[in-house]
Amino acid sequence: MIGHADLGRQYAALKNELDAAVGRVLASGQYVGGPEVEGLEREFAAYCGAPHAVAVGNGTDALRFALMAAGIGAHRPVAEGRAGQGADAGGPDEVVTTPMTFIATTEAISQAGARPVFVDIDRLSFTLDPERVERAITPRTRAIVPVHLYGQTADMDPILTLARRHRLAVVEAGTLGEAGAFSFYPTKNLGACGEAGMVVTGRPDLADAVRRLRDHGQAEKYRHVVEGYNGRLDALQAALLRVKLKSLPGWNERRRALADRYRSGLRDLEARGAVALPAEMDWGRHVYHLFAVRIGDRERVRRALRERGIDAGIHYPVPLHLQTAYAPMGLKEGSFPQAERAAREVLTLPLYPELGEAQVDQVCDALRAVIGGG
Ligand SMILES: *Cc1c(COP(=O)(O)O)cnc(C)c1O
């Protein structure tokens, strides 16, 4: 079955270095925090061109801690002198985000003590529509979380302009906003062998606040200046990620090359209107975490591909505003037509650096056979 990752092949390609990293950590006796974690933080900060990087337990921690450290929500860092005061009179802080994402985005917002406010996506990029963001801003809005879905950045210039004008924090996966939050879930472009995440920021105070939040609010051992979390990264994951980080630029190039091959292989289907290929927006370089096409009759196509040994995915089948967890928001079908349409039509084709050209061709041929006609 051709799926969405081949982590066994990734391991085989880096086996000597990964095994050595594991051995080094096991022999060191330091399993949580320590020099491997600090090394990864230094190297990832340099990779991003960010002054500070703070490693945390996973991507959801990274989002939650970044928001909290930026002073969003009821749980404000002590540095602002408002810890434990809860939401201000008038209701919780609002954070504008997209319904076309994984629930971690809104979990982090709610768990920080703020309220997610959804706005619809742009049809082509699948990311936040800046004009709709502007219309959603209220006096309670404190932040924007633009998700760079499938590896395509959101339209950041207008979003950053809006954020400056309304004095809002921006938390994204990059270095453009107040803070960037990254997930190193195993199948991401850079994946750990377990759970891991990172916050990057240019603000030393924000980096310090995240360091406290990840470690039970400790400023120094057994001196808790605020309640925090157990959100530290373990040394094994850090050591493995340091090895893999060196391959990341090459892996992203490989993802782009395979995406190009899909483009040529599916050009005829696109010309007939049978599939819509992912757009490359002029505002940011797509790194193809996923190759998301739109297709009519998706369920039938997906089943037929499975019969041909191809496991196409659906990211994501239900937009967040229609999830049971958010039923209390009272947002009905029709609230965000673009997100709802994307959730109905998107099919993600296998794409990962270890995938071969011949396998891409096999997927293209299978898709052509399954869709038929012409
Ligand atoms: C993967 C992912 C997350 C969740 O990260 P975890 O490391 O699994 O907690 C959150 N948001 C987006 C956009 C993601 O792709």
* 247: three-class secondary structure by DSSP: coil
Of 312, 314, 327, the residue nearest 363 (C-alpha) = 312
Is 183 a pocket residue for ligand 1 (Cβ < 6 Å)?
A: yes
CA of 40 to the centre of ligand 1 (A): 19
Of 74-83, 237-246, 262-271, 349-358, which gets the smallest average pLDDT?
A: 74-83
Higher-pLDDT residue of 83, 213: 213
The atom number, within ligand 1, closest to the CA of 108 reads 10
Contacts of 229 (CB under 8 A, 6+ apart): 61, 64, 65, 213, 214, 216
Of 67, 145, 53, the residue nearest 100 (C-alpha) = 145
> What pLDDT band is residue 254 in, cutting at 50, 70 and 90?
very high
Is 147 a pocket residue for ligand 1 (Cβ < 6 Å)?
A: yes
CA of 182 to the centre of ligand 1 (A): 7
Q: What is the pTM of this model?
A: 0.95
**pLDDT tens-place string over residues 149-202:** 999 999 999 999 999 999 999 999 889 999 999 999 999 999 999 999 999 999
Mean pLDDT, the chain, whole residue set:
95
Taken in order 144, 132, 118, 198, is the CA torsion positive or negative? negative
pLDDT at 374: 58
CA of 273 to the centre of ligand 1 (A): 32
CA of 41 to the centre of ligand 1 (A): 19
> What pLDDT band is residue 75 in, cutting at 50, 70 and 90?
low
Place of tokens 């960010």: 50
> What pLDDT band is residue 74 in, cutting at 50, 70 and 90?
confident
What's the burial of 147, exposed, middle or buried (CB within 10 Å: 0-12/13-18/19+)? buried
